């Protein structure tokens, strides 16, 4: 999978995860960070694509929060 696409940096993912850990000593393996970064990327792209689909269905030229709101419940059930 060679793709020069944007994505979450490992360091950022690590910091984000540590924000939520109760125990500061909790560690995350490098592989897990990379996988988590990929999961987050998919989540964002999925949110965006579903928003686009909703906007297209409503014949809108722009994805606005109204469209996002409509696809959000199912998105959060899927992730």
Partner 1 sequence: EEEQEAEEQERFSSQQRLKAAVHYTVGCLCQEVAADKEMQFSKQTIAAISEITFRQCGKELAHAKRSTINTEDVKLLARRSNSLLKYITEKNEELAQLNQERKVKKKKKPEDGNQTCREPAEAEGGEAES
Please give the size of the binding site for partner 1, defined by CB under 8 A: 59
Q: For residue 51, with 0-12 CB atoms within 10 Å meaning exposed, 13-18 middle and 19 or more buried, which class applies?
A: buried
| 66 half-sphere exposure, CB direction, 13 A CA radius | 7
Interface pattern 18-57 for partner 1 (x via CB under 8 A): -xxxxxxxxxxxxxxxxxx-xxxxxxxx-xxx-xx--xx-
The residue from 7, 57, 58, 70 that contacts partner 1 (CB under 8 A) is 7
Q: Give the span between the Cα atoms of 9 and 38, in whole angstroms.
A: 10
Residues that bind partner 1 (CB under 8 A): 1, 5-17, 19-36, 38-45, 47-49, 51-52, 55-56, 61-65, 67-68, 72, 76-79
């Amino acid at each position: 999978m060679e793709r020069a696409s944007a994505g979450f940096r490992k360091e950022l993912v690590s910091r984000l995860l540590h924000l939520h850990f109760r125990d500061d000593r909790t560690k995350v393996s490098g592989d897990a960070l990379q996988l988590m970064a990929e999961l987050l990327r998919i989540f964002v792209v999925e949110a965006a694509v579903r928003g686009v689909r909703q906007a297209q269905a409503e014949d809108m030229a722009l994805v606005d929060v109204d469209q996002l709101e409509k696809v959000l419940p199912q998105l959060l059930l899927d992730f």
